[in-house]
Structure 1
Amino acid sequence: MEDAKDDLVPLDWDQVEGRAARGDTSYLRELGARLADRREAAAELTREYGRRLAHVVRVLALTRGRDSLTQLLLLLDEKQASTGHHPRFLASLLAEHQEPADLAAVVFDRPHSDRLDELRGCLFHELILRGVDIDDFGPLRTWTIVRPGWSALAWLPDRLRDMETAVDFPSRSLRGSARAGGTGLPTEGRMDPPTPRTSRRSALQDVATTDVHTSIVAAPEAGEWGGHGAWVFRFDEAISPEQVPALLPTLPLRCLDGLGPTARFEIAARPVDEIWRLLFATASMGGMYSEGVHGAYGRLWAWRSLAGLSGTPEGASAEDVERHASQSTWFHFEADAEWFHNDVCADYGIAALSPDRRRLAVLAATDTD
């Protein structure tokens, strides 16, 4: 590194240009090669510092107690942009390993003149998802009043809702992590249509707007799944939930292209809490090449997908989304179509029949190469 510095001291634009003017281009090539080597060496050194810093931050986050929390917050406030960890990831680690009372006292009960509001916002929802009652801790109750209104997380409910049950979280240690594998199609609630199915295609067309499509795919998009699609169909008359299993394979769904009349198509009616759990896992833990967006934003994007699927109007409150979702009829399906790869827990389809039974929305997601 000192040699590189010595070489660079006398170097200026005029000198380089003068060498070129005199035809000494071989010198410039050699100089360029030396600079490229030293740039790569400096970049590797920077990466190594980053790895070490990230490990120090992780150790502080996973070491239980108020002292480690205090030191972590001081470090984050002073060097937030350089620590190598996003606040949503740190919030997930803290919620997993620290006591709620310590988090409330150290993270939330402090002056709000620092730069850690994003961390607090994420941590607040991480704790809610883990069943912490904010009424048990004054600083958590206060956060609902003083939190910044610009945060997208402020839209979420301040209490755990009935459908947000049996939440899956990853498990992290100082040097490793593991996560749940999800669940496939259940045996209960099965409504598989008899085969051979009709080969006649429905005349219905996808009517999903760009905004609705974006809302429906919010969870797999956030989790960086390999592929996803969304479709919405409207009927002139109400249909019954019993009609959905036979209707789905006839619709113009790209995820079911090429599905023959005897190919596997399995479908089950599911309660809304299991659909929410699937969407949450998709966003929060991510696909095979992603670590996801963790608990707080996983919660947000699961709600966003639920809103699009249930047909809740854009800009509605979380209470409106919950009402629409709880009154909808939900289905989970899998198929031996080319779009799906049928790897365990890496493919799924969701269909939602609206409360008036005249709208059917579909989300398909795959996370295979």
Structure 2
Amino acid sequence: MDDALSKILAKPLTSRNALKLERLARRRLKHGEVAFVADLGIGLARHHRSATEFDSLFDRLVRLLAVTPGAEPVAQLVRMLAAGRPDDPAFDRYVASMLAACRRPEDLTVVFDGGSGGVAVSDELRACLVHELVIRGIPVAEMPGIAGWATSSHWRDHPLAGLPLAPMAAEREPDLPHYSVDGSSHGLPYWDPEERHPAPRLDTRVPTAVETTTAATAAAMATAVADWADDPEEPEGRVEARTFAFADPLEPDAVPGALVALGLDCLVDLGDLPGPGEETAFGVVAVEPAEVWQVLFAAASTGGAYAPGRYGAYGRLRAWRSLAALAGAPADASAGEVEEYVRGCAWYRFGAATPWFHRVVWDLGVLAVAPDRRRLAVLAATTTD
């Protein structure tokens, strides 16, 4: 180990020493000493893993290697992770997102072959990286050094293995994060809670409906926004997921009236709507499946106001599970079958100025009407900071 590094690691990892170590890592990396950064991370894990400053400093070293051009920083990052954060699926998801965002696919083959040193790489990191690349439009099944692992049966039992290795039709323009050594950012592509709409007609005949919600279906529909309600960091989060069956086909112009008549929690105290031609906060807007997927993906991948997101790979999985359940696809449907169900439905987004919605940023309301127009599925979610 580098003598200077050994001396510094012998000292307690205070906030002041952590700053010194980060500055030292930046200087050495600037001079091409990539392995030094990995050695530092490994040394910190061995000597100071329990220190308060460890996680933050280790993360900065990961970022330094992830954003530095070339294949060698990736190889050193893999080596550092194997020693410093083994068996940490949440961290693997984060690193996979960062690598896919910051590096050329050609630089990432070491993640799949372990490099010349045969470094142990977790299957979780590999699986997440595959799908982080897929949602960025990278043809992983054709990439030398990646295709062999991505198309193998080795990971057939992994939760992500059922997702296709190419973007599906609805996966257009996903909101993806941007990373630098000092932080990250991402957009919030939710619909404007202050949006106004022409008052919908509510006098169209609505067929008789019965609720058909089951616990399993509700949980599946809410997969993309589950953290908004289940994570203790989101005490203000709420989710409503329900299905209904109609005695007769629900005509498109009757959808707003049906929504109001179904007794949804999210529309309690909706109040009287203005007359025709006037504007109101309550609106039901026909949309393409891609717009619904984009919002579900953002909810799952970026999280809520405080709950951490699942990043791109699991964001993709969770968005599709919600979309499939909303569309009425069987739980064991293949990706191709799910796409058929999704294409067959009529999709809508909705919002309202009711006490249920926080109307800050994280408001979501979507509907799916089945091809026979006798089934309606609704998902609403809200949280706030």
Identify the match of residue 326 of structure 1 among 343, 346, 361. 343
CA gap of 1:282–1:346, structure 2 versus 1, over 3 A, is same
Match of 2:254 in 1: 243
Identify the match of residue 99 of structure 2 among 90, 94, 108. 94
Quick check: 1:356 aligned with 2:363?
A: no
Identify the match of residue 245 of structure 2 among 234, 237, 242. 234
Give 1:78-117 correspondences, 5 Å limit. 78-81=83-86, 86-103=91-108, 105-110=109-114, 114-117=120-123
Match of 1:139 in 2: 145
Q: Secondary structure at the match of 1:316?
A: coil
Alignment partners' CA distance in 2, 1:82 and 1:350? 37
Alignment partners' CA distance in 1, 2:305 and 2:186? 11
RMSD: 2.8
- Once the two structures are TM-superposed, the CA of residue 49 in structure 1 deviates from its matched residue by 2.2
Match of 1:36 in 2: none
Contact 1:341 1:366 in 2 (8 A): yes
Contact 2:224 2:300 in 1 (8 A): yes
Identify the match of residue 173 of structure 1 among 176, 180, 184. 180
CA gap of 1:82–1:348, structure 2 versus 1, over 3 A, is closer
Query: CA deviation digits over 1:37-67, x for unaligned, max 9?
Result: xxxxx99961112322222122222222111
Alignment partners' CA distance in 2, 1:185 and 1:325? 24
- Once the two structures are TM-superposed, the CA of residue 317 in structure 1 deviates from its matched residue by 1.1
Give 1:280-299 correspondences, 5 Å limit. 280-299=297-316
Match of 1:264 in 2: 281
- Once the two structures are TM-superposed, the CA of residue 186 in structure 1 deviates from its matched residue by 11
- Once the two structures are TM-superposed, the CA of residue 231 in structure 1 deviates from its matched residue by 0.7
- Once the two structures are TM-superposed, the CA of residue 296 in structure 1 deviates from its matched residue by 0.1
Q: Secondary structure at the match of 1:360?
A: strand
Quick check: 1:335 aligned with 2:339?
A: no
Quick check: 1:73 aligned with 2:107?
A: no
What amino acid does structure 1 have at the position aligned with 2:379?
L
- Once the two structures are TM-superposed, the CA of residue 83 in structure 1 deviates from its matched residue by 7.8
CA gap of 1:70–1:351, structure 2 versus 1, over 3 A, is same
* TM-score (norm: length of structure 1): 0.80
Which has the larger Rg? 1
Alignment partners' CA distance in 2, 1:65 and 1:177? 21
Percent identical pairs in the alignment equals 37
Contact 1:61 1:69 in 2 (8 A): yes
Quick check: 1:220 aligned with 2:225?
A: yes
Gaps of 5+ in 2: 1-46, 274-279
Q: Secondary structure at the match of 1:81?
A: coil
Match of 2:276 in 1: none
Alignment partners' CA distance in 2, 1:148 and 1:44? 31
Alignment partners' CA distance in 2, 1:282 and 1:180? 11
Alignment partners' CA distance in 2, 1:132 and 1:253? 41
Identify the match of residue 57 of structure 1 among 62, 87, 105. 62
What amino acid does structure 2 have at the position aligned with 1:131?
G
